Amino acid sequence: MLENSLDTVERRSGIALWRQIADQIRIAISNGEFDNTDMLPGEIALAARFSVNRHTVRSAIGALAREGVVRVEQGRGTFIQRRERLQYPIGRRTRFSEGLAGQIRSRQSYLKDHGIEPASAPVSKALSLEAAAPVVRLELVGTADELPVSRTTSWFDGTRFPDFAERYKEYGSITAILKSYKVEDYVRVSTRISAHHAASATLKDLQLSPGAIMLRTETINAELGGRPLEYANTYFAADRIELDIDHKSAAGS
């Protein structure tokens, strides 16, 4: 687990050396490699480890410091500040609001934008609607401890839930809005997970720098009877969060 030394970085790969080194240090931190001292080795030692110049290591550390992973103090060294990713549970019945409980102090999610539009092919398919049927689209940003961690685009049947977006201000959560439409319960029926380099639009919302990674979940929520309710597309900042899949919670309440 704590294999040391002789990490390699590749040149001409399209990824700057400092970024490759930052990635590897981040991984080493989360592997617990520096847990005995709670700080990184000195810049000169790191430069030797990756066979690069000290300034290249400094660029890498600078990036990690801007991310809040480490804190640099002149004359003393570089201290590890954040070790673990948040764990976001994914189960048949988990809601975003409950998910991160205990791991963070504050959690918020706010409606960034919304609209009614004709359903695109994947949306109409997921919601079992006619092609180009009207759907409500919500754009949500989820934050944990004031840091954005997720970016969701969510679609609902526009005929069945015409003023879904308007009710958001009043109720503040999807579950509460659905209740106001007399939908008492719903479950997650499928989730597809993929990883991508961050695309420009999401970059800003999640406060990421290009080259950052996003975990994408494509979710369908449905009523207990199986009628689809919501099709959602969420991007998580992969360096701040991991997904924790619960295979046990499947028995209906």
Partner DNA sequence: TCAATTTGTCTATTTATCTATACAACTAGA
Partner DNA sequence: TCTAGTTGTATAGATAAATAGACAAATTGA
Nearest to 218 by CA among 245, 186, 191, 246: 191
Token readout for 76 is 């003393």
**Region of 67-75, 110-118, 212-220, 243-251 interacting with DNA (CB under 7 A):** 67-75
Helix or strand holding residue 214 (H, E): strand 213-222
**133 touches a second copy by CB under 8 A:** no
- Per CB under 7 A, contacts with DNA among 7-36 are 11-14, 16-18
The CB-of-55 to DNA minimum distance in angstroms stands at 4
Among 47, 52, 57, 63, binds a second copy (CB under 8 A): 63
**190 touches DNA by CB under 7 A:** no
As a whole number of angstroms, the distance between CA 16 and CA 211 comes to 10
**44 touches DNA by CB under 7 A:** yes
**Region of 68-76, 88-96, 144-152, 165-173 interacting with a second copy (CB under 8 A):** 88-96
Q: Is-contact 138 96, C-beta < 8 A?
A: no
Among 5, 101, 121, 225, binds a second copy (CB under 8 A): 121
42's contact among a second copy, DNA, none, with CB below 5 to 8 A by partner kind, is DNA
As a whole number of angstroms, the distance between CA 118 and CA 155 comes to 11
As a whole number of angstroms, the distance between CA 26 and CA 42 comes to 15
